[in-house]
Amino acid sequence: MTFDKKKVVYQIYPKSFKDTTGNGIGDLNGIIEKLPYLKELGVDVLWLNPFYPSPQRDNGYDVADYKAINPLFGTMEDFDRLVSIAKKYHMELMLDMVLNHCSTDHEWFQKALQGDKKYQDYFILRKETTDWQSKFGGLAWSKFGNTDYYYLHLFDKTQADLNWRNPEVRLEMQKVVNFWREKGIKHFRFDVINLIGKDQVLKSNPVLDGKMEYTDKPITHKYLKELNLATFGQDSDSMTVGEMSSTTIENCIKYSSPNSNELAMVFNFHHLKVDYENGQKWTLTKFDFKELQKLYHDWGNAMSHADGWNALFWNNHDQPRALNRFINIKDFHEEGATMLAASIHLSRGTPYIYMGEEIGMLDPNFDDISDYVDVESHNAFENLLSKEYNKDLAFKIIKAKSRDNSRTPMQWDESENAGFTTATPWLKVAETYPTINVERCKNNKIFKFYQQLIKLRKDLDIISHGSYKSKFENSDTVYAFEREYQGQKLLVLNNFFDKETNIEIDSEFTDGKLLLSNYEDSKITKQLSLRPYESIAIII
């Protein structure tokens, strides 16, 4: 399986991208309308978050039917048209496969509730439960109808975990992937896929809420090889990415190594937990640069050495905007945005751009908990209050960490609701839309810088195929790495702070060519003084 490493992926949260029906919810035709814009940016693959029928308890990650389109987003005809028109623009779709769990509204779960033994074995039912905690708060077990059993749900109680130990379940999952393959889809993103391999005997474990008892189990690799062989592995240029929850480098090498015949690449989230106090998400603390630097180097070096492959990203639908987390946006919005972009687009792996990132979109400044829709945020707010946090502090934490921060509607222009909809949007638009929007920002520094980065990846093999080697590990301010390919070398320096910092580069790079910088007048000298959030790439 040889996917194209020059390709760049753009993530679309359909619900928030563009509404064409006037119901306040983005739709498939809205994506079609904006294909020329995406072509102008230069991206190749469009990852769409789930658009399947769903009660929307978890915004579509609670799938009620894997082989249909939620009428909120359009019809199957709209989908087919999107695939066809995207191809004319030389773009392809990547679909989100939520195969660890399904909605309790799914007919499988409903039949199980009605006593059908076949479908009861599609789920993980136990009379004796464990102490595992749901990732959305509370115990990960709920009563299974009027029986003596409980069913496992690692997420919301309306998202029942599927029993992958049942061969019939694995066959059903293969049928789902092949259904979309028959519609011309070759690229897939697999949601929390490293959680599918639960043990036969489930054990309590209070450490990390029980995560180690169901995460990265060896049998997961067997299931992925099986899925690969029966589905996407039959497409030579298929691009697949696994979302890996609380994973390890060792496992991710196995998941993504070409010789493993599992997946093309992996997402991990460790670098987005460096502003978690004591590993806890719902806290407020400054990001730990040294931890961030170490994580990037550890993963970059190890994956490069073992031929694993990373999916590189700062933003997605589950994360607050990286600009708010890592950058002094008041004084250095553009410099910070471009530095973050360079730090991953020039690295080893496939870069992912989350909608709005290319124009520097920011978190919203909501006024009240009622402005948030996300179930995790509401659960966290109540949990904080139950721990006797005062309401103001609890709300401040939600504002900083809510998943809705990245889900606000795409900001197209300065008209009402940012040109996203003519109706009341399902989630409020961020108040920055009059100044941060596509119409206004398409000719600005951030957008043009993203275009440049995408083009460089296509033009230079050292960016798409080169090795990774950590540099300046002892620096307290600079994240730097060296790429090498067929005798060529590329040095990338990124100042992660809003103050100047000095660094002495190796002599071999002093006569190199300045490939890219996010300042207009950058110069190469042995003693470099990097300005706030300055990013420099030198090629020799």
Instruction: Yes or no: say if 113 and 122 are a contact pair by the CB < 8 Å rule.
Output: no
Torsion of CA 511, 515, 517, 521, to 10 degrees: 50
The residue among 349, 375, 374 whose CA lies nearest residue 363 is: 374
Catalytic residue among 156, 243, 363, 404: 243
User: Which residues, in sequence order, are bridge partners of residue 420?
Assistant: none
Instruction: Yes or no: say if 377 and 403 are a contact pair by the CB < 8 Å rule.
Output: yes
Catalytic residue among 62, 191, 216, 363: 191
Active site residue 500: no
Distance CA 3, CA 471 (A): 28
Other beta carbons less than 10 A from residue 270's beta carbon: 18
Distance CA 238, CA 166 (A): 27
Instruction: Yes or no: say if 532 and 332 are a contact pair by the CB < 8 Å rule.
Output: yes
Distance CA 258, CA 433 (A): 43
Length of the chain: 540
Encoded tokens for 113: 């509730």
Distance CA 180, CA 354 (A): 23
Q: What is the 3-state secondary structure (H, E, C) of 381-429?
A: HHHHHHCCCCHHHHHHHHHHHCHHHHCCCCCCCCCHHHHCCCCCCCCCC
The residue among 308, 313, 190 whose CA lies nearest residue 250 is: 308
String of b and e for 487-506 (b: at least 16 CB within 10 Å)? Answer: eebbbbbbbbbbeebebebe
The residue among 115, 1, 8 whose CA lies nearest residue 458 is: 8
Encoded tokens for 429: 């638009």
According to DSSP H, which parts of 68-134 are helical?
76-88, 107-113, 117-120
Distance CA 342, CA 516 (A): 9
Instruction: Yes or no: say if 401 and 374 are a contact pair by the CB < 8 Å rule.
Output: no
- How far does Cα 66 stand from its chain's mean position? 21
String of b and e for 452-485 (b: at least 16 CB within 10 Å)? Answer: bbbebbeebebbbebbbbbbbeebebbbbbbbeb
Active site residue 191: yes
Would you call 294 exposed, middle or buried from its count of C-beta atoms within 10 A (0-12, 13-18, 19+)? middle
User: Which residues, in sequence order, are bridge partners of residue 312?
Assistant: 351
Catalytic positions, written as ranges: 191, 243
